Amino acid sequence: MPGYEVISSAVRAEAPKWDEFTEVVKSTLTFIQGATLDTSAFFVLTPTAGIEINLAPETHQRAYEKVRAYMESVLQGAEREFPQIGDALIKAANKYDEAEEEVEFDLNEIWNIENDYHKPAKGPR
């Protein structure tokens, strides 16, 4: 239709980026899943007192694990949803194109100077 330009190609061009994001998420997820730490990782060695057992390494380990598990769940969600975003962009571009074709078809069917409802204007009287 005159008056605007279809940009569905730009929408389609955005879709593959989400597949690339998915690959980054997968490798990060693998790293995060293997990033568990034992309680011993949270003992603190000070130069003057040796190992400080009063710093509650179990508490730090639990806090670390909560953050690690949270990030793992966020990345698992992204791994599922990013491909869906790419697919949705393609579907949206296709629907946009289909709608535009239908509008063009309908307008051509309706707006035809040679139809029975509109007679061309006669020349000057």
Instruction: Report pLDDT digits (tens) over 75-111.
Output: 999 999 999 999 999 998 998 888 777 666 655 565 5
Percent of the chain with pLDDT over 70: 66
Average pLDDT over residues 34-45: 85
pLDDT band at 114 (very low <50, low <70, confident <90, very high): low
> What is residue 4's predicted lDDT score, i.e. its pLDDT?
58
> What is residue 64's predicted lDDT score, i.e. its pLDDT?
94
Task: State both tokens at 66.
Answer: 């909560």
Task: State both tokens at 105.
Answer: 């078809």
Q: Please give the model's pTM, rounded to 2 decimal places.
A: 0.63
- For residue 16, count other CB atoms closer than 10 A to its CB: 12
The CA distance from 32 to 16, in Å, is 25
Task: Report yes or no: 12 and 93 within 8 Å, Cβ to Cβ.
Answer: yes
- For tokens 């296709």, the residue is 94
